[in-house]
Each structure stands twice: as C-alpha cells, then as structure tokens.
Chains A and B, each alone.
Chain A
C-alpha cells in the first residue's frame, strides 16, 4: 500500500509496524505529530504526553526494560532536558528495543536555538540514523529496533524540520508481531551504581566497535557512482538537495546510519572521486570525523554553519551559479509576523504589563516559551529575556536576589509562564523561589492547553493524549503546596483585576503567584471548560464611529481584529475576526467600543 506521508507520520507508522507498545513525548515543533498520530492508534499501543522530555524518556526506558518496544520523541532542545537519562541508558542498554527521536530545526523555523543533536550520538555513544525522506523514516524505524535489540543499545533517530514536515510516498511493509520480553532481574546490567557502571562503560566501548562493522554494511550507507570529478558525502535531507542540484554530474556517498560512521566505505569513496564535498546542515559533524581519517574535503570552509543547506546554497558553492530571478521592487513590502490571536487570553496580561510606564520601568519581565513569547513584540514589548522552558521563574529568582543585594527595593522581577511550561519545568523553579525566598512575581498564563505546539493536553487539562479523562492537576493547590502564600487566580480578560493583582503583588514583601485562568481562543473546549467558563467567545464588539476620536489607544491591545483607517481617522473592528474578549472596549477611554447587540 502506498501513502503520501510526512516524515513524522512515517515514523509513527514505522513504530506501529515494529510492534512498539509504549510511546512517550513532550510536544515540540517539529516532532509533535509523531505521538499525535500514535495517540489515534489506541488499540495498537499506549502513548502519552509526559510533563517534560526527561520524564517521557525515563518512562520509555522503564517500559523497554519491562519488556516492550518503546519510543520517546522530542524536539532538539528536548533532548537537553532528557540528556541525563539518555547518557546512562546508553550504558545499561535495553531489554526490548528503544528508539529516541530528536527532531532538529536547522534554520530555527520555530525554535530558540539551532543545536545540532548529532553531537549527542557521539557524546553518549549511541548509534544514530538520519533519514532523508518519509520512506526512510519508516524503514529506518524498523531497522532501528532490530539494531537496538541486537546491540543492546538505545538508538537515536535524528530528524530535521524538512524531513519531519515534508510528505513523500511510503510503501508500507508487513506489521511485525513482537513477543513480550519479560524483565530478568540483572543488577549488573540495570543498576548503574559506580561499581556496575565501570563494567558497563567497557561494554559501551566494545559495542561501538561492533556498530562500526554494522555501519560498513548497513543498507542505509551506500555509494552511487556517476561523474567522479565531484564526490558528495551527505546525510539526511542534504542528500536530496544535492542530487537535485547536481544530478549525474556527481557521485554520492549517501549516509543514513551516521554514528558510528563507515570509515572504510568513506576511504574507498574518497579514493574513487576527485574532489569531495561534505554537505551537512549546521555543524561539521561528519566533516571533522572524515578529516580525522586524513581525507581532504571541502566543507564548512565553503558551506554556511547556520541555516538550512537549501539547494540554492549548494548550487552557489559547488557550481558557482544561481538561478535567474525576476527583479521586482519590494522596498515597501511590510513583513507579516505572527501575532497573538484575536481573543487570546494572554492579551490582557501583556497589555497591562506594558501600559503603566512607571511600573514597567521598575520591573524586569522574565519570559518563557509558548504563544505568550509574542509578548516580547510590538505593541507590548513586555519581555526582557527568554532562555528556555521553565527559565522564566528561575531567572527572575536570580535577578530578584541581585535587586536585594544592590538595595534596589523598588525593583521587582516578574516571571510569565504558560500552564504547560509550568508543569514542564516551572514547578522546580518555583520551589527555588519559595525555598530560597525571593520576591518574584510569577504570572502563570493558564490557558487550559498547550497552545503553541497545536493544542495538546497537559497535566492541568483533565484529559490524556489518547483522549481519556484524567486527573486535572490543580495549579493553585500545587503552588500553595510548594509554599507560596500570596496566590490569586484572576480572569485575564478583566483588566481591572489584572492591574489590581499586579499592583498588590508589587507591594507584597515575598513571593507571589498570579494565575490568569481562561481558555485559549482556539481550544476545543472540554465539558469542564464549558461548565467553568460558560459560553466563551460568542460576543462581538464594534467601534462607534461617532465616539471614536482616533486616539489609537485600542491599538495597544495588539488585537489583529482591529485596524486603523488613516483617511477617516477611526478605528475599525473586523466582524469576521473579533472574538468578543472585550479587552479593547475596556481600553477605550471614549466609550466608543461597544458590544454588538444582536
């Protein structure tokens, strides 16, 4: 059967057909759709959203020890969070097979950095596959489970955005029926205390030697000879780009199993071609290893170290050539950046944080990752730093300690963090605020869902990845249990209570938490949402042109439903996009924005 699948769909199908029974993940572009698809196959396997990637991987490790093929999926930065179990699982190995998917994001289409996770394979001594299209995603998943069990090791499946999110044709093979492998108590394998780990490390080194042999003969590593003046060594999507540009004017060593590298195959290829180009996105990972074999190559001396290695770049570097492009004047072309949706419940908080200039000057706003990261942009400019998930609260803690140290009693550090991000790693940071007592104001933007990555459930929503009802973890209870005493829950669409909550936390001599609780405008509401919040997003607002003075105050809401007509000097609200949150009407001082009466 042939299907047009994305790389992520093909990974999911490959998992199902390899007999995987346990899959854990935390969402993150471009990896999210793997477990999203698996969650639809409830009869085939168990799948879950864990609170973070470390927890997801540890669950998968436990499941593979206990005897079923397991999978953990994450975006590249997620493997940083999961690095601790990843490195030691490389020592213990597996019982049933285990694959860890890392979806990297060259070009940073939706990420805070561009780290090249191929380094993790080398660093942790874990074998690695790099598919270049969806068929390979499917085939390599199947092979990865064989390798995992044969060599007793977790396997890293390294995807990139273009592989994860591109569709190509996949031919499905037979579905494997993999028997349950009951756990045999073997402390010398599974209990990584120092005495055991010393032995395991020796095993890891031996395993690498065995995997080097596999790499030489793997069906995923092969030379294709055409014109031999140019020899390209490439892995992942770069291979596809290179063939597109060079066709039969070059020979290729296409590598799909890239750690450990097939050194004999590389030497042989090098002896058969005149000039070698190593084409890889981001870091010179293969290049460095190939140069260490004493082989001269062209690599990052000519190719860029950042961004996607798109075909036009390969064309320029190797052929010194560029496609003809028709010139047209774009000097007055406005950009189209993303914005908080109309009706977004984050709007009230950022409007309020931005508006009061005197208060804004006194606060440092420590941001975090989610839709609300857009609070950094116009018209709010209400974010002063952003690092990684969970860091808002801990960075605010550090800053707050410095304010104390320097006697800057007027200044406060404010952390803004989403509900999913709070469960991810924000909780630990809040423990530090409570335990080491800093005067941080933490605002938890609880929009009842993991919005940014496409609306996944999380521990606070009351539902699992597979759609079953679950315990709804209560953020106020958790915050209080951590030891925070000054805790308030507000509706972020009520600007006066937002302001009041922030002002009172500014005056409070200790840590405060404000929970802004209202569902995301794009969420599919649960019955619990409907009973808690009633009918949502059903009203509409419009501008009374007679009363509108053209003061533009409402534009500070940053709502995409509002436009300003320069010729008429009036604001307008698009009936199609307004969702009736009422923020703009609360901002308007001239009583010009009114609920539409139907």
Chain B
C-alpha cells in the first residue's frame, strides 16, 4: 500500500519547504517517494497543495479522492477545501489559524466560524496553534516547520535524523530556530 500525505495551505505559507524536507526524510528512511505540486498562481495568495506518496514502489504521484492518510492544513479553511481527499480512516493535522480570502477581506462573504467543531465532528483532526507559536519563537515563517514536527510525530519514521535534515537544508542562521520549531510541533501536537 502506498502511503499518501497532502500538505495544503495558502500560497506563500511555506508548504513547499515542508514537503521537501519530508521527502528527504522518507528517502533517508529507504522509501520510494514521489511528490507533486500544483503551483500555477501560488505566489499570488491562491490555494496550494503538495502531495507526497511513499511505499516500496510508488506509481501515481497524485492522491486519489478519498486516498490521503494524512492531510496537514496550514490554514483551517484549506482543511475543509481538501477534505474530500482524506480516507475515512485518515487524520488531519490543522494549523489553528485563519487567513481571509479576498471575498472575506472585502466583506462580500463570511469566513465560516464553526470550522474547528465542524471538522472535528467528521474527522480525526488535531489542531495546533502553529502560527502563534512561530511568532512566539520569533519568526512567523517557521510555522511550516512546527507543522512538520507535528507530522513527524504522527508518522513516527524509523531511523530519521530530523535535526540533520534541517541542518542540511536550511540557511545556517535559521537552523537553530527551525530545530526549535520542529521540536515544538513534535512535542505539542495532541494526536
């Protein structure tokens, strides 16, 4: 069976780096890995997704409807948007964070207020205030690595040295804060 993970969010939130580090870890753990991304207009604040699949041998890089084992959502509304991709037995890890799309910013639509309960009722979902925590750590950008830490906990991959992966793939002066972020996500997610 191929394991499938989707990382979804808003363009500019750092989903791509999160997905990249995950694929490196999976390769180090000895898996065949594929990843696919649709990033047409992603720089301009659109909805984005990265899909990562691993197994002994992976064929399709794309996750089928109802095929993802885990969805990591960097923003709550995006968790709802992509929920059809989750297996009924699947799990959601959600950044408890709101980003208004244009229609809400301009007061033409409302942002659904009951997302946490609506999603929790239907799915096995864990919420983490990753954006707030990143701000407290001193850099809002490391939210993506906090969520990677949470995901790593859920995956529990054998023999992966995450610190080393961060050291090898993050600019030198951001290594420490990213390690802290990873640890925060890993230790604070309630799975």
What DSSP secondary structure best describes chain B's contact surface?
Answer: mixed
Q: Which of A162, A310, A330, A576 contacts B64 (CB 8 A)?
A: A310
How many A-B residue pairs have C-beta atoms within 8 angstroms? Tell me: 166
With A168-B33, A328-B119, A560-B105 known to touch, is A336 a contact of B59 (CB < 8 Å)? no
Q: Which residues of A contact B14 (CB under 8 A)?
A: none
Name which of A326, A332, A334, A341 has the most chain B CB atoms within 10 A of its CB. A334
A167 at interface (Cβ–Cβ under 8 A)?
yes
Considering only residues 93-109 of chain B, those with a C-beta below 8 Å from chain A are 100-107, 109
CB-defined interface of B107-138 with A at 8 Å, one 1/0 digit per residue?
A: 10111100000110011000000000000000
Q: Which residues of A contact B102 (CB under 8 A)?
A: 336-337, 339, 378, 558, 560
A169 at interface (Cβ–Cβ under 8 A)?
yes
With A329-B118, A339-B44, A371-B44 known to touch, is A241 a contact of B62 (CB < 8 Å)? yes
Name which of B39, B64, B78, B84 has the most chain A CB atoms within 10 A of its CB. B64
- A168–B54 CA distance with the chains assembled, in angstroms: 10
Name which of A109, A240, A310, A336 has the most chain B CB atoms within 10 A of its CB. A336
With A168-B61, A333-B81, A338-B45 known to touch, is A566 a contact of B35 (CB < 8 Å)? no
- A325–B80 CA distance with the chains assembled, in angstroms: 13
Nearest CB on A from B42, distance (A): 8
- A333–B75 CA distance with the chains assembled, in angstroms: 13
Contact B33 A4 (CB under 8 A): yes
Considering only residues 43-79 of chain B, those with a C-beta below 8 Å from chain A are 43-47, 58-62, 64-67, 77-78
Contact B61 A166 (CB under 8 A): yes
Name the CB-closest residue of A to B19: A167
Considering only residues 148-178 of chain A, those with a C-beta below 8 Å from chain B are 161-162, 165-169
B23 at interface (Cβ–Cβ under 8 A)?
yes
- A240–B51 CA distance with the chains assembled, in angstroms: 15
Q: Which of B2, B24, B38, B47 contacts A161 (CB 8 A)?
A: B38
Contact B61 A333 (CB under 8 A): no
Contact A168 B58 (CB under 8 A): yes
How many interface residues does chain B have, given as a range? Answer: 35 or more
B172 at interface (Cβ–Cβ under 8 A)?
no
What DSSP secondary structure best describes chain A's contact surface?
Answer: loop
B27 at interface (Cβ–Cβ under 8 A)?
yes
Nearest CB on B from A73, distance (A): 18
Contact A315 B27 (CB under 8 A): no
Considering only residues 31-54 of chain A, those with a C-beta below 8 Å from chain B are none
Q: Which residues of A contact B44 (CB under 8 A)?
A: 338-341, 371, 374
Give 13 A-B contacts (CB < 8 Å), ordered by A residue. A4-B35, A161-B38, A166-B34, A166-B37, A166-B61, A167-B36, A241-B59, A241-B60, A244-B59, A322-B66, A333-B80, A334-B109, A335-B103
Residues of A within 8 A of B (CB): 2, 4, 29, 109-110, 133, 161-162, 165-169, 237, 240-241, 243-245, 308, 310-312, 315, 322-330, 332-341, 371, 374, 378-379, 454, 522, 552, 555, 558, 560, 562-564, 566, 576
